[in-house]
Structure 1
Amino acid sequence: MVHTATPGKQWTDSGEIHDKRHLKGRDEGVTRPVPCCPELTAILRDHIKREGLKPGDLLFQGEKGGVLTGSVYRRTWDRARKEALSEAEYKSPVAQQVYDLRHLCLTEWLNRRVPPAKAAAWAGNSVAVLLEIYARCIDGEDDDIKKALDAAVAALGPVPDSGRAQAQAPDQRQ
């Protein structure tokens, strides 16, 4: 559960390096569930235990126990990209910023057919914002959608003949 935010300077209200505040679009104290795969959950729980972290402690802390700086994130991310990607991928725009993982995650959720309302809630977005940004990223579902529509029409059965469907051609009228 996420319950507070510490946005960087470009998104703060105070102009300070970080603000600590409640989640955007939510009242103070309201939490937001965020799904986490079992493997990552185990890693995080082990880290929390090893570091002796208590509720309210930062999961990852800067040198003096405070919030990690943006430069630390950027340097760490750059090293991770260099290690994980091929040289051509590293030189490309692929995952240049940590925030690109958010885009990848939301795109993947939508492509895996997580309902937009659920994906938006998990991400802390409105459905309108989610679809405005990510609707064009949804891919590979045209055939499935067409099959579902065909099945729905077929389930209705044959269309009854109302007598109007077989209007006579003008030269056959009497």
Structure 2
Amino acid sequence: MSSLAEADVLLRALGALCLKLDGKAAAAKTARRKRAAFNEVLNMAVERGYFAENPLNGIRWNAPAVNDVVDPVAVPNPAQVARLLASVAAQPGRGPHLEAFFGCMYYAAMRPAEVIHLRRPQCHLPEAGWGMLNLSGGVVVAGKEWSDDGAVHEVHSLKRRAATATRAVPIPPQFVRMLRAHIERFGVATDGRLFRNEAGNYVDAAAYGVTWSRARKYVFTRVELASGLAKRPYDLRHAGISFWLYSGVDPAECARRAGQSIEVLFRFYAKFLDGLQEHANRLIEQSMKDWDRASRGEAAVE
């Protein structure tokens, strides 16, 4: 432990955090996440009396830059999303079961972990009109070595929220119909989960990733595939939030529905918000003209 107080040792450790096991550079977010974990370990060492202060405090180290901005090139528009979901439904095997799964990521901007955890009691699905999903947590892969009961999966609270926190997300009529059709066709698991694998267990990311990849290749042109359009299922969440913004939904409401802070929304969706500025300018300009006309009318009456 004492060697960690040496600057050279810490710098080598920080350098190693930027690499994968094969020696190649790790993603910037991965390096930053590992650095944060390393920092917490050293804070614990301070609490246990191994150090008077965290030795990282005196180290000058620049973390890899992270590009947080969502690239519009990778975000599918509503017509492309419709093609993708239809392609997923047409895939053999698990395809039909996963259509509504991916629909959750787009229509409700849900994270994959939240979709895996979704249960029937959380869904208000009326026969007509808008419905509501009351999200309460997500399922993550922890690994047997890191869970208390030896299970591979763990149920966590909503991201960066208290254990009992929930998030209500309105869903449009067309998605209500999709979920109702899914439940009617496939039923639910014994614990009420809408989505499950053939054995009734949690849906695996690798499995739904294969279906997604096949659907993209089936429906997209070579140019669309080469551009990286909707390369990851998570891009559906970006597409859903981006469409809300494009539709003129207040950014604060977009952030609330997506379960993120307004600061994160503005950072991640900066390019889409830039596109809304012109629309906002036109609205303000029109209001100013309306007031000018009203003022001139009052002056004429006097």
Q: Give TM class, smaller chain.
A: 0.7 to 0.9
Identity, % of aligned pairs?
32
Aligned counterparts of 1:43 and 1:152: Cα–Cα separation in 2 = 40
Aligned counterparts of 1:33 and 1:81: Cα–Cα separation in 2 = 30
Cα deviations by residue, 1:109-158 (Å, 9 ceiling, x for unpaired): 11211111111111111111111111222354444333333345452659
The question of whether the paired residues in 1 share the 8 Å contact of 2:140 and 2:153 is answered with yes
Where in structure 2 are there 5+ consecutive unaligned residues?
A: 1-133, 297-302
Query: 1:4 is matched by which residue type in structure 2?
Result: G
Tell me if 1:94 matches 2:211. no
- Residue 121 of structure 1: SS of its match in structure 2? helix
- Residue 74 of structure 1: SS of its match in structure 2? helix
Larger relative contact order (Cα-Cα within 8 Å, sequence gap ≥ 6): 2
Equivalent in the alignment of 2:140: 7
| TM-score for both structures, normalised by structure 1 | 0.75
Tell me if 1:80 matches 2:220. no
Instruction: Spell out structure 1 runs of 4+ moving beyond 6 A.
Output: none
Equivalent in the alignment of 1:144: 279
- Residue 34 of structure 1: SS of its match in structure 2? strand
Equivalent in the alignment of 2:194: 59
- Residue 260 of structure 2: SS of its match in structure 1? coil
Query: 2:171 is matched by which residue type in structure 1?
Result: C
Cα deviations by residue, 1:30-87 (Å, 9 ceiling, x for unpaired): 3212232212211211222333326842211123211111111110101111122112
Aligned counterparts of 1:119 and 1:94: Cα–Cα separation in 2 = 22
CA RMSD of aligned residues (A): 2.8
Give how far 1:94 is off.
0.6
Higher helix share: 2
The question of whether the paired residues in 2 share the 8 Å contact of 1:5 and 1:21 is answered with yes
| TM-score for both structures, normalised by structure 2 | 0.46
Query: 1:90 is matched by which residue type in structure 2?
Result: L
Aligned counterparts of 1:115 and 1:84: Cα–Cα separation in 2 = 33
Larger radius of gyration: 1
The question of whether the paired residues in 1 share the 8 Å contact of 2:189 and 2:200 is answered with no
After superposition, residues 98-137 of structure 1 pair within 5 angstroms as 98-137=233-272
Query: 1:136 is matched by which residue type in structure 2?
Result: K
The question of whether the paired residues in 1 share the 8 Å contact of 2:255 and 2:261 is answered with yes
Aligned counterparts of 1:148 and 1:39: Cα–Cα separation in 2 = 30
Deviates more, 1:91-100 or 1:18-27: 18-27
Give how far 1:17 is off.
4.5
The question of whether the paired residues in 1 share the 8 Å contact of 2:266 and 2:273 is answered with no
Aligned residues: 156
- Residue 20 of structure 1: SS of its match in structure 2? strand
The question of whether the paired residues in 1 share the 8 Å contact of 2:136 and 2:158 is answered with yes
Tell me if 1:40 matches 2:175. yes
**Residues 17, 114 of structure 1: CA spacing in aligned structure 2 closer, same or farther, 3 A cutoff?**
farther
Where in structure 1 are there 5+ consecutive unaligned residues?
A: 159-174
